[in-house]
Chain A
Amino acid sequence: MTGTHLLEVKDLTVDFLSLGGSFRATNGVSFHVDAGETLVILGESGSGKSVSASAIMGLIDTPPGDICAGSVAYRGRDLSSLSEGERRDLNGRKIAMIFQDPLSHLNPVYTIGWQMEEVFSVHGVASGGVARQRAIDILRRVGIPEPEKRIDQYPHQFSGGQRQRIMIGMAIALRPEILIADEPTTALDVSVQAQILELLKKLQAEDGLAIIMITHDLEVAANMADRVIVMKSGRIVEEGEARAVFENPAHTYTRTLINALPHGDHEAPPKRGRPAGKPILEVRNIDKFYTLSSGFFAKPARLHAVKKLSFDVAAGETIGIVGESGSGKSTVARVLLGLNEASGGEALFHGRDILKMDRKELLAFRRKVQMVFQDPYSSMNPRMTVLDIVSEPWRIHKDILEKPRWRDRVTELLGLVGLNPEHAARYPHQFSGGQRQRIAIARALACDPELVVCDEAVSALDVSVQVQVIGLLAELRDRLGLAYIFITHDLPIVRHFADRIIVMKSGEIVEHATTEEIFRSPQHAYTRQLINATPKPKWQTAADAA
């Protein structure tokens, strides 16, 4: 290396001003990247990793953001000295960026062709038919089938993975030297994630791209990184060659993150004997159709979301239902709780069919079966205190607890889920994501349920917090004898938690076995795909290839 790096960030310090004062998003962050290599910035939410990337692109709005110290230099040239026009010329031509959620990052009202051609036209490279032809070539290069036809379609007409391919295509259109990828696969299913990571590596090999990849996902990080920096609370806590950092983490925070991985070679917790209890829930041939559109004269189109699904849950047992988006797993939960009507079949709870219950029976049933949702923030009324939220079930089921004892019981429940009972008067926004999910669990426990249905209950949480919440659920199971239906898209996460696993695809069960069997000898190709979809560390794949 000749002294100047392709891109070098030095002592970057960014503050965000808000009404309550200023907040330091990054504090003295320094890193660099060179052609052909991948630098991964690893960190959990709020660690300042995205802010660092936005600063490189000049995307931080001032105010509220304020770059109070440090510099970003491209080929030794300080970017803060650039005029607005020079800055624009660099963006897209030399440095490009892709984002987490490609649907909202593509303009919904223009065709993808329009948006791709714009990259050429605003940089004065090509326009009209030439730009269109080049856009088609790029779409082909990033793996969009039939690009000549699809170029005139709108973003909502593509799948999530295709949209990310389009974003990538737009980013590499002018063959930039640096690609910043901000959580590019977080919103995607695991199997699609693997394809996108492969695409990025292929493009890197062909064009000699320098990639700065921002992620909270350790496996993605290990799969992509040549070098890693780990960020926490706006500071870099560890950096180094990827393999060294992952195999011998020096900082305690990095170690916590790596140990939080649900699989890996560390020891499994003691095995639970399969609970011998009688089944409390028996699901028989559940069917669910959704009507997609109903015209005045047209025959309604239907989607068969759940096809003849059968399984049962014993008292104290944990069933994991695993599948990717569109597999029908959440529909199952909604049907079982009576939130959606089933189109056919029966679901017996202690021998009584949930699907045929009248209002009164359903009310009694809902005491015994509670739900924890994915997003603890939107499933809580922001204007209610924790006390109100947790005690609300008692307002509905009046016979559980008389009012004078509510406060004591809420205190008890908050203690049970590991929250400070003195915080009962606070509002949901004053808690972190993990704490909010604990509140949701406390609310579910308020009715003394027998069965708790968790729909992607930890998916929105950081990895280290995921492990804590699952630990809490396991502990409550053992103390209170709860049964769980744990719905997730992340197969590894239930490895040490579920007793049995149901793998779903396109509304059907493709495999149903004990957790041990699923991981030891997966029978179905799709299950194997889900297990293997977890990205492998780069140093291992490199060794395999050699």
Chain B
Amino acid sequence: MFAFILRRAGQSVIAVIGLLVLVFFLSRLTGDPAYLYLPLDSSEAQRQAFSEAHGFNDPLVVQFGRYLVDLARFDFGDALSRNRPAMEVALEAFPQTLKLAAIAIVLSLCLAVVVGSLAAARPGSLFDKLATTASLAGASAPDFWVAIVAILVFSVGLGLLPTSGTGTALHWIMPIFVLTLRPFGLLVQVVRGTMMSALASPYVKTARAKGVNRSRIVFRHALRNSLLPVITVAGDLAASLVNGAVVVETIFGWPGIGKLMIDAIVRRDFALIQATVLVTAIAIFVLNIAIDLVYARLDPRIRFETR
């Protein structure tokens, strides 16, 4: 298993380097930062001096070489817009996103497994119809709309919850609710589908012939088999949340990495763009390896190629 992780990490390093190259050059296509950071009436000479000071005048290849050398020394440059090391800023925002994403995905996964399994156990029942309708609504509702409506109802109308920011436990409720809704809706549908096919499988027939009761068949025999596709979808959803739920973070004024990334792009803060991309990329690669490990844990037929 260790060899497997090592190999996956090796592959990931190659992919991360490719990504950084891409981000480095693409971000420099957005324009000259000098126009944003100096006053509108600054002279050409002042802009030249600014660019010279930050190294933007060198050929791109030279800038890239310098970036790589700095990277090798774990120097990620300074965030122009904040006058602080870029990585420090990124690492400050990332936990905020991570906490939100982790809570949302675990919550939606747990709820979806229970609701989806029960719906699949009695297809066509009232509970199944309710679950299917609710999950479809959850999966289709646009998150920005749900977020705004939630603010209108609970903050503006009822005055129960704060509109934005962090601090108290109350601040967490609405962002988590909005972020949980869509994954929950999607996952219920996946769980229901895979659980129905698992329940129709021959080994379930064997279990019934053995005299195993219904709930044990659903939650012991069928569940573990039907979780594999669910984990795939959940992993995908988790990756998009870790990436920063840009819209939701913006609406609720949540100081996460998604909001930071958008700010950095708008401010042409190249070092900060690169730092945020690097952090989220590493997080997603770690997530993917974790998913592979969960897979192998669930299904003994999956073996790491370590020989």
Contact = CB atoms under 8 A, between A and B. Distances in A.
A200 B239 CA distance: 53
Max chain B C-beta neighbours (<10 A), residue from A122, A123, A170: A122
B211 A107 contact: no
Given A101-B202, A105-B202, A108-B301, A91 B209 contact: yes
A297 to B, nearest CB: 8
A298 B211 contact: no
A101 B205 CA distance: 12
Interface string B206-224: 1111111110100001001
Interface in B192-244: 201-203, 205-214, 216, 221, 224-225
Contacts of B210: 91-92, 96, 118-119, 122, 170
B205 A107 contact: no
Contact of B213 (A88, A107, A109): A88
B300 interface: yes
Given A90-B211, A92-B211, A109 B300 contact: yes
Contacts of B209: 57, 59, 91-92, 96-97, 171
B212 A122 contact: yes
Given A91-B209, A122-B212, A154 B203 contact: no
Contacts of A122: 210-213, 216
B165 to A, nearest CB: 45
Max chain A C-beta neighbours (<10 A), residue from B206, B298, B300: B206
A298 B4 CA distance: 12
Interface in A87-101: 88-93, 96-97, 99, 101
B84 interface: no
A315 to B, nearest CB: 46
A170 B221 CA distance: 16
A91 B206 contact: no
A104 B305 CA distance: 25
A38 to B, nearest CB: 19
A86 to B, nearest CB: 10
A154 B300 contact: yes
Contacts of A85: 213
Nearest to B198: A107
Given A88-B213, A122-B216, A156-B301, A107 B207 contact: yes
Contacts of B213: 85, 88, 122
B202 A99 contact: yes
Q: Which label, helix, strand, loop or mixed, suits the secondary structure of the B interface?
A: helix
Contacts of A92: 209-211
Contacts of A84: 214
B68 to A, nearest CB: 25
Contacts of B73: none
Contacts of A88: 211-213
Given A108-B225, A296-B7, A301-B307, A118 B212 contact: yes
Given A107-B225, A118-B212, A122-B216, A293 B307 contact: yes
Interface in A297-311: 298, 301
A110 B225 CA distance: 10
A106 interface: yes
Nearest to B223: A109
Nearest to B205: A59
Given A118-B212, A122-B211, A293-B307, A105 B203 contact: yes
Contacts of A107: 203, 206-207, 221, 225
B208 A57 contact: yes
A399 B229 CA distance: 48
Given A109-B298, A293-B307, A104 B201 contact: yes
Interface in A140-166: 154, 156
B307 A104 contact: no
Interface string B1-40: 0000001000000000000000000000000000000000
Interface residues of A, number: 37
A128 interface: no
A84 B225 CA distance: 25
A21 interface: no
A295 B208 contact: no
A106 B208 contact: no
Contacts of B300: 108-109, 111, 154, 156
A106 B201 CA distance: 10
A105 B206 contact: yes
Max chain B C-beta neighbours (<10 A), residue from A59, A90, A171, A296: A296
A147 to B, nearest CB: 19
Nearest to B224: A109
Contact of A104 (B202, B207, B214, B224): B202
Interface string B247-268: 0000000000000000000000
Contacts of B52: none
A298 B301 contact: no
A93 B221 CA distance: 19
Contacts of B7: 296
B43 interface: no
A144 B46 CA distance: 85
Max chain B C-beta neighbours (<10 A), residue from A90, A92, A154, A293: A92
B283 to A, nearest CB: 24
Nearest to A123: B211
Nearest to A116: B210
B306 interface: yes
A119 B206 CA distance: 11
A109 to B, nearest CB: 5
B299 A295 contact: no
A163 to B, nearest CB: 12
Nearest to A301: B307
A109 B298 CA distance: 7
Interface string A176-216: 00000000000000000000000000000000000000000
Contacts of B214: 84
A293 B211 contact: no
Interface string A109-142: 1110000001100110000000000000000000
Contacts of A93: 211
A425 to B, nearest CB: 33
B205 A99 contact: yes
Contacts of B224: 109-110
A295 B307 contact: yes
A118 B216 CA distance: 11
A108 B202 contact: no
A108 B203 contact: yes
A97 to B, nearest CB: 4
28 contacts: A59-B209, A84-B214, A85-B213, A88-B212, A88-B213, A91-B209, A91-B210, A97-B209, A104-B201, A105-B205, A107-B206, A107-B225, A108-B203, A108-B225, A109-B224, A109-B225, A109-B300, A111-B300, A118-B207, A118-B210, A122-B211, A122-B216, A170-B206, A171-B209, A293-B305, A295-B305, A296-B7, A298-B306
Which 9 pairs between the two chains have the least Cβ-Cβ distance?
Answer: A92-B211, A91-B211, A92-B210, A104-B202, A97-B209, A107-B203, A88-B211, A105-B202, A154-B300
Given A108-B301, A171-B209, 10 more contacts: A101-B202, A104-B201, A108-B225, A109-B298, A118-B212, A119-B211, A122-B213, A170-B210, A296-B7, A298-B305
Interface of A: 57-59, 84-85, 88-93, 96-97, 99, 101, 104-111, 118-119, 122-123, 154, 156, 167, 170-171, 293, 295-296, 298, 301
